[in-house]
């Protein structure tokens, strides 16, 4: 069965409305902020339901926002059911992007510095300074995370 353009468009809009996908958001702003995150008072707001990686403690993602961390990646980690932490994903030794955390540690692939997931402090390696922490405020009622 072949659908007319209007029918296809109507179906697309109906599906988008049902799933909560913001067409303007995804279409126009995706180059500025990724996925369908929103911005509230200049702060990126992550809808946690959109990120399976952040559904369980220990899960993490990396994201870039044009307004934060000079557009460099930010590491966002769920520490527990109700605690999140965010760091600049740039190693404090030479600025290389660190890996996603594993077993409570964040490793820099360049010279092997290791940082604690819980507070970003150095475990060992050439880095001396901890990872730069970025504010991450969890709103459990809305299941959102404000970054920055
Ligand atoms: S750049 Fe990360 S340890 Fe050197």
Token pair recorded at residue 119: 């507070």
What is the pLDDT at residue 23? 41
Mutation test residue for ligand 1: of 75, 94, 99, 123, the one with most atoms within 8 Å of CB? 94
What is the pLDDT at residue 41? 64
What is the pLDDT at residue 35? 52
Q: What is the rounded distance in angstroms from the CA atom of residue 128 to the CA atom of residue 113? A: 9
Of the candidates 101, 105, 114, which has an alpha carbon nearest to the alpha carbon of residue 75?
101
What length is written for the chain?
148
pLDDT band at 38; cut points 50, 70, 90: confident
Higher pLDDT, 111 or 66: 111
Of all residues in the chain, the percent with pLDDT exceeding 90 is 70
Higher pLDDT, 20 or 84: 84
What is the pLDDT at residue 100? 98
* Cα 129 to middle of ligand 1, angstroms: 11
All domains in the chain, ordered by first residue? 1-31 (no CATH), 33-147 (2.102.10.10)
Q: What is the mean pLDDT of residues 79-98?
A: 97
What is the pLDDT at residue 28? 40
> Does pTM top 0.95 for this prediction?
no
Atom of ligand 1 nearest to the CA of 95: 1
Q: Which residues contact 104 (CB under 8 A, 6 or more apart)?
A: 116, 117, 118
What is the pLDDT at residue 48? 96
């Amino acid at each position: 069965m072949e659908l007319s353009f209007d029918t296809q468009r109507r179906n697309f809009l109906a599906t988008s409305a049902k799933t909560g996908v913001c067409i303007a958001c995804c279409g126009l702003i995706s180059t500025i902020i990724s996925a369908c995150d929103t911005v509230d008072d200049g702060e990126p707001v992550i809808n946690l339901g959109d990120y399976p990686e952040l559904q369980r403690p220990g899960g993490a993602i990396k994201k870039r926002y044009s307004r934060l961390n000079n557009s460099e990646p930010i590491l966002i980690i769920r520490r527990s059911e109700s605690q999140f932490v965010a760091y600049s994903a740039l190693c404090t030794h030479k600025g290389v992007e660190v890996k996603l955390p594993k077993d409570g540690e964040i490793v820099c692939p360049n010279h092997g510095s290791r940082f604690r997931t819980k507070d970003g402090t150095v475990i060992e390696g050439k880095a001396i300074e901890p990872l730069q922490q970025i504010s991450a405020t969890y709103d459990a009622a809305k299941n959102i995370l404000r970054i920055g």
